[in-house]
Structure 1
Amino acid sequence: MFAYYLDLALRSLKRNKVLTALMVLAIAVGIGASMTTLTVMHLLSGDPLPGRSDKLFYAQVDDNPLPEKQTEPMDVMTYQSAMDLWSAHQADRQTIIVDSPVKLRAPDTTLPPLMPSMLSTTADFFAMFDVPFRYGGPWRAEDDAARSRVAIISSDLNDKLFGGANSVGRTLRLRETDVRIVGVLAPWRPSPRFYNIAGGRFSGGKTADYYGRPQDVFTPFSSALEINDGNFYQYSCWQLPPSPGHLQNAPCVWLAVWVQLDSPAKVASFRRFLDGYAAQQQALGRIARPQNTRLRNLVEWLDYQGVVPSDVRLQAWLAFGFLAICLFNTIGLLLAKFLRRGGEIGVRRALGASRGAIFQQCLVEAGMIGLLGGLGGLLLTLLGLSLVRRQPVAFADMVHLDARMFALTFALAIATSLLAGLLPALRASRVAPGLQLKTL
Structure 2
Amino acid sequence: MFAYYLDLALRSLKRNKVLTALMVLAIAVGIGASMTTLTVMHLLSGDPLPGRSGQIFFPQVNPDPTRPHAKEPSVVMDYHSAVDLWSSHRADRQALIVDSMIKVVAPDAALPPLRLDMLSTTADFFSMFQVPFRYGSSWSADDDVKHSRVAVISDDLNDKLFGGTDSVGRTLRLGGSDVRIVGVLKPWRPVPLFYEVWGAYTKPQDVMTPFSTGLEINDGHFQQYNCWHIPDTPGHLQDAPCNWVTLWVQLDDAAKADAYRRFVADYAAQQKAAGRFTSTVTRLRDLMQWLDYVGVVPSDVRLQMWLAFAFLAICLFNTVGLLLAKFLRRSGELGVRRALGATRGAVFAQCLVEAGLVGLLGGIGGWLLTLAGLWLMRRQPTDYADIIHLDLPMFLTTFVLAIATSLLAGLLPAVRASRVVPALQLKVL
TM-score normalised by length of structure 1: 0.96
Letter in 2 for 1:406: F
1:232 aligns with 2:229: no
* Cα deviations by residue, 1:152-198 (Å, 9 ceiling, x for unpaired): 00001111111111110000111100000000000000000001123
- State the Cα distance separating 1:66 from its structure 2 match: 3.2
Of 226, 230, 242, the match for 1:252: 242
* Cα deviations by residue, 1:4-40 (Å, 9 ceiling, x for unpaired): 1111100000001000000000000000111011111
Equivalent residue, structure 2, for 1:265 = 255
How far apart in 2 are the matches of 1:236 and 1:148?
A: 29
1:215 aligns with 2:193: no
* Cα deviations by residue, 1:315-336 (Å, 9 ceiling, x for unpaired): 1111111100100000000000
Equivalent residue, structure 1, for 2:177 = 177
Conserved? CA contact 2:69–2:279, under 8 Å:
no
Equivalent residue, structure 2, for 1:77 = 77
SS in 2 for 1:178: strand
* Cα deviations by residue, 1:36-57 (Å, 9 ceiling, x for unpaired): 1111111100000000000000
Conserved? CA contact 2:227–2:242, under 8 Å:
yes
Conserved? CA contact 2:123–2:210, under 8 Å:
yes
Equivalent residue, structure 2, for 1:281 = 271
- State the Cα distance separating 1:362 from its structure 2 match: 0.3
How far apart in 1 are the matches of 2:171 and 2:212?
A: 19
Letter in 2 for 1:87: S
Taking only aligned residues, the RMSD between alpha carbons, in angstroms, comes to: 0.9
How far apart in 1 are the matches of 2:110 and 2:12?
A: 71
- Relative to 1, partners in 2 of residues 1:67 and 1:43: Cα closer, same or farther, differing over 3 Å? closer
- State the Cα distance separating 1:67 from its structure 2 match: 4.9
Of 413, 436, 440, the match for 2:425: 436
Letter in 1 for 2:317: F
Equivalent residue, structure 1, for 2:148 = 148
* Cα deviations by residue, 1:38-89 (Å, 9 ceiling, x for unpaired): 1111110000000000000001011122353321111100001000000000
1:103 aligns with 2:103: yes
Off by >4 Å, runs of 4+ in structure 1: none
How far apart in 1 are the matches of 2:220 and 2:126?
A: 23
How far apart in 1 are the matches of 2:27 and 2:303?
A: 21
Equivalent residue, structure 1, for 2:291 = 302
Equivalent residue, structure 2, for 1:92 = 92
Equivalent residue, structure 1, for 2:378 = 389
Equivalent residue, structure 2, for 1:412 = 401
Conserved? CA contact 1:61–1:74, under 8 Å:
yes
Conserved? CA contact 2:151–2:182, under 8 Å:
yes
Conserved? CA contact 1:63–1:287, under 8 Å:
yes
1:366 aligns with 2:389: no
Letter in 1 for 2:273: A
Equivalent residue, structure 1, for 2:52 = 52
Please list, as runs of the form range in 1=range in 2, the aligned pairs for 1:308-347 lying within 5 A after superposition: 308-347=297-336
SS in 1 for 2:195: helix
Equivalent residue, structure 1, for 2:136 = 136
SS in 2 for 1:195: coil
Letter in 2 for 1:11: R
SS in 2 for 1:215: coil
- Residues matched between the structures, number: 429
How far apart in 1 are the matches of 2:109 and 2:232?
A: 38
1:187 aligns with 2:176: no
Give ranges in structure 1 of 5+ residues lacking alignment.
Answer: 201-209
- State the Cα distance separating 1:243 from its structure 2 match: 4.0
Equivalent residue, structure 2, for 1:204 = none
SS in 1 for 2:247: strand
How far apart in 2 are the matches of 1:296 and 1:68?
A: 21
Equivalent residue, structure 2, for 1:376 = 365
How far apart in 1 are the matches of 2:400 and 2:42?
A: 16
Equivalent residue, structure 2, for 1:25 = 25
* Cα deviations by residue, 1:187-245 (Å, 9 ceiling, x for unpaired): 000000001123x7xxxxxxxxx111100000011111110022100011111223442
How far apart in 2 are the matches of 1:130 and 1:244?
A: 37
Conserved? CA contact 1:171–1:178, under 8 Å:
yes
Equivalent residue, structure 1, for 2:410 = 421
How far apart in 2 are the matches of 1:68 and 1:281?
A: 13
Letter in 2 for 1:340: R
How far apart in 1 are the matches of 2:348 and 2:169?
A: 73
How far apart in 2 are the matches of 1:167 and 1:345?
A: 75
Conserved? CA contact 1:41–1:313, under 8 Å:
yes
- State the Cα distance separating 1:282 from its structure 2 match: 0.4
- State the Cα distance separating 1:431 from its structure 2 match: 1.1
How far apart in 1 are the matches of 2:385 and 2:266?
A: 44
SS in 2 for 1:94: strand
Conserved? CA contact 2:219–2:237, under 8 Å:
no
How far apart in 1 are the matches of 2:372 and 2:326?
A: 31
- State the Cα distance separating 1:392 from its structure 2 match: 1.1
How far apart in 1 are the matches of 2:227 and 2:159?
A: 38
How far apart in 2 are the matches of 1:113 and 1:240?
A: 33
Conserved? CA contact 1:66–1:287, under 8 Å:
no
Equivalent residue, structure 2, for 1:37 = 37
SS in 2 for 1:98: strand
